[in-house]
Amino acid sequence: MPAKVIKKKSAAKTVVEKDGAAAPRAPKAKKEGRERALVVVESPAKAKTIKKYLGAGFTVKASVGHVMDLPKSKMGVDVEHGFAPEYVVIRGKSKIIAEIKKSAKDVDVVYLAPDPDREGEAIAYHLAQEIRPSNSNIKRILFNEITKKGVTEGLSKPGNIDRHKFESQQARRILDRLVGYEISPILWKKVKRGLSAGRVQSVAVRIVVERDREISAFQAVEYWTIECDVEGKNPPPFRVRLNKIDGKKAELTAGDESRKVVAELKSSPFVVDKIERKERRKFPLAPFITSRLQQEGARKLRFTAKKTMALAQRLYEGLELGEEGAVGLITYMRTDSTRLSEDAVAEARAYIEERYGKEAVPEAPIVYKTKKQAQDAHEAIRPTSMQYDPETVRRLLTVAAGGNQEKLRDVEDHVRLYQLIWNRFIACQMKPAVYDQTTVDISAGRYGLRATGQVLKFAGYTAVYTESAEETGDAEEDKALTLPELSEGETLRVHKIDPEQHFTQPPPRFTEASLVKELEEKGIGRPSTYANILSTIQDRGYVDKREGRFHPTTLGTKVNDLLVESFPDILDVTFTASMEDGLDSIEEGSRDWVKLLGDFYSPFKVDLEKAAVHMRDLKREEIPTEHTCHKCGSPMVIKWGRNGEFLACSGYPECKNTREFKRREDGTIEIAPEATTDEKCATCGAPMLVKRGRFGEFLACSRYPDCKTTRPISLGVDCPRPGCGGFLTEKRSRRGKVFFGCSNYSKTQCDFVLWDRPIKTECPQCHAPFLVKRENRRGGGKIRCVAEGCGYSQETGAPEGEGGEGGEGTESGHAA
């Protein structure tokens, strides 16, 4: 079923070109009577880099991401007629489209060159719909790297829009829309307005919630280890560990048992039974794919997945290297293929020989196998050229940054990630590291002990790169312990015997790296979506990150439980993974996208109808507690409100007493003390308390209900309306959206409101008494002056790096 495209004048017919069209001639200057061309990419940064590689006959424009999408105001999917989507031009993109169409009229051929993935294909598809009335000679080109070579190769192989890849993206977009728009209203009714559900993100929340419950339910088990310091005829002393009792694996579970073993060991001779020496080779891991880059970025650089991808996007699109201009430094960063081009491998081998010597270069290039289900259209993530080593890049970027400290910090982040990619790529084409490994088995009566040591014999690739223990899966592997010269039958002197008590540990909470790894292993989402998944579950308030580890919030846990109960398929890890496989099958052309949606929607619709009736209504639930109301003596109950759980008097509405509380480790309830302020009640002079109501925090008299005086909390900024006399305070709309208004706010008295938070800072330009600040989800934002005619504004830093074009995986569950 073709998509329905909504336009101001008429609906454009959906057209997808057939494969195999002849390649156009290379465009040249019109004045010579030759072709002129328009190249359209999705990023202004990429457009700038590409422009320098093209001649005068080329015009380069940027779409700045998607130009069309499903509408925000409604679902935009006709489920009764083949799930036909209704696309609309994204707000703010009409002017960009008009400029692109105008440029298309003046050229002979249009090359669409958004990113080479599903999202890029969708951008190209919708651009083609818009451009075709102006110029029907449209070709699709792909750039795996933004270099002169990459751009030239892309232009030399023009093709057509990949219908299957576009349909895969469209199916994913519709799936996410169906889940988000159909489940969210139920959550609004049962939990609170503004919540949203996501097809993939909800499963990620479930993984975090279930890990939290594993930790809570974990029962620690005691166990003991015994290690001994021993010495032979030759120095140095070394340490051995008990590993056998009567020929079986040593398993000590109690202190008394361990002390008996220690007593026996003290009276037993330690004799070297067996010495095994062998050479061990450790081979380098494959070059980076997206998921591995995100994981190692988190482990080694402490970057979030989102920051890693944002930095990688800019490295791919091109950075200004002084007189060099914009240079694309890495290949496309959304890939699950470990394939490397022959040219890249040859260049790496030449670099290794020159830098580390001929002995570091393997006899033949190393080829890495790509996993079966991987899309092999792109190479692995690698530097585009050995010409730009990390130190050269740092020097050129530093010069370009001048003395700007913020730009210099930005430079360092980019260089650190580039260094990681560079080192991994170089290492993957080097010889393995070689170790001399020695294992010594020792007998002491009925006990067996062991010592293992290794000495690095040849550094190989480890001279450049060492993987994290978490990635190799062997934390003990690289411990270098030098053992002395020993001989079988030799008796050892025992200096010390150390019994040590341990307890088994619960599974650790997920970090950025380990959650990405978990998603990858379970087949949830795709590498290009992981960064978005991790950001979204935090932005929606379902998961918090504390000290680098993910914790589910109370809201996240409650919503998860409701969804698991009412939508078992949607929240099932295996089911979600199978849907991802289905989307891959659509891209491969082996599955029909409408049928996939139909197979999904039929049972989903049944679950929706049941959930609307039977899903627990948290708004109405009251959980009894052991506490009583200090005002009327009625039992206090836990209720759910807009701001989460709170204690309320069960005598409501006669008694409206509420209190904040927190849960102790054992699950019992502790009532939080009320926040007393220095403010005095204007009516009776009693202290004022900070209270939280439906529309935010406010001050209330501590003598309530005898005195019902309330007043808003000041932000320290006076209302700018002449003669008003009020002050600005935080408020909430009936839909829960935060805004800032005058304390005298009403339609008749003072209607001054702001959407951005006022801050008591004088404008340095016009000296207005306050500025306003708008923060974005990445922690950055903008401070500006709202005084008429001023125009002062200043960007504020985003500590996690700026976001790039997100690639595929942006879900659109709707929020209020």
CA distance 517 to 292: 8
Match 């996240």 to its residue by tokens.
Answer: 556
Q: How many residues does the chain have?
A: 816
DSSP result, 10-34 = -PPPP--PPS-PPPPPPP--GGGT-
**3-state class (DSSP) for residue 526:** coil
Instruction: Give the CA distances from residue 279 to residues 366, 433, 453, 477, 557, in Å, rounded to whole numbers and listed in that order.
Output: 21, 10, 12, 14, 51
Side-by-side strand order, sheet with 658-659: 623-628, 635-641, 644-649, 658-659
- Which residues is 456 bridged to in the sheet? 435
Selected catalytic residue, list 53, 87, 111, 332:
332
d(Cα 387, Cα 159) in Å, to the nearest integer? Answer: 31
E-assigned strands of 623-726? 623-628, 635-641, 644-649, 658-659, 661-663, 669-671, 676-680, 687-693, 696-701, 710-711, 714-718
Give, to the nearest 10 degrees, the angle between helix 201-217 and helix 554-566.
110
Partners of 244 in the β-ladder: 249, 448
Nearest Cα to 639, choosing from 654, 617, 655?
A: 617
Contact between 481 and 218 (Cβ < 8 Å): no
Q: Which two tokens stand for residue 490?
A: 């030799």
Closest CA to 645 of 636, 633, 635: 636
Q: Which residues of 177-193 are buried (b: 16+ CB within 10 A; e: fewer)?
A: bbbbbbbbebbbebbbb
Is residue 332 part of the annotated active site? The answer reads yes
H helices of 132-252, in order, are 148-156, 163-190, 201-217
DSSP 330-381: BB-S--------HHHHHHHHHHHHHHH-GGGS-SS---PPPPTT---SS--B
Structure tokens at 154: 């892309």
State how far the Cα of 566 lies from the Cα of 203, in Å rounded to an integer. Answer: 14
By the 8 A CB rule, do 39 and 59 touch?
Answer: yes
HEC string for 570-618: CCCHHHHHHHHHHHHHHHHCCCCHHHHHHHHHHHHHHHHHHHHHHCCCC
- Within 13 Å and on the Cβ side, how many CA atoms surround 757? 13
Show the CA angle centred on residue 195, arms to residues 193 and 200, nearest 5°: 160
Tokens of 149: 């070579």
Tokens of 120: 């890029």
Position 586: which residue type?
Answer: I
The CA distances from residue 333 to 91, 316, 350, 551, in Å, are: 28, 7, 24, 29
User: Beta-strand (E) ranges in 403-548?
Assistant: 433-444, 447-458, 491-503, 543-546
> Where do we find the tokens 């305070």?
729
Give the whole-angstrom CA distance, residue 16 versus residue 126. 10
DSSP category for residue 6? E
Q: Report CA torsion sign: 499, 501, 507, 508.
A: negative
Contact status, residue 270 vs residue 494, Cβ threshold 8 Å: yes
Distances (CA, A) of 153 to 47, 90, 566: 17, 32, 51
Residues tagged active-site? 332
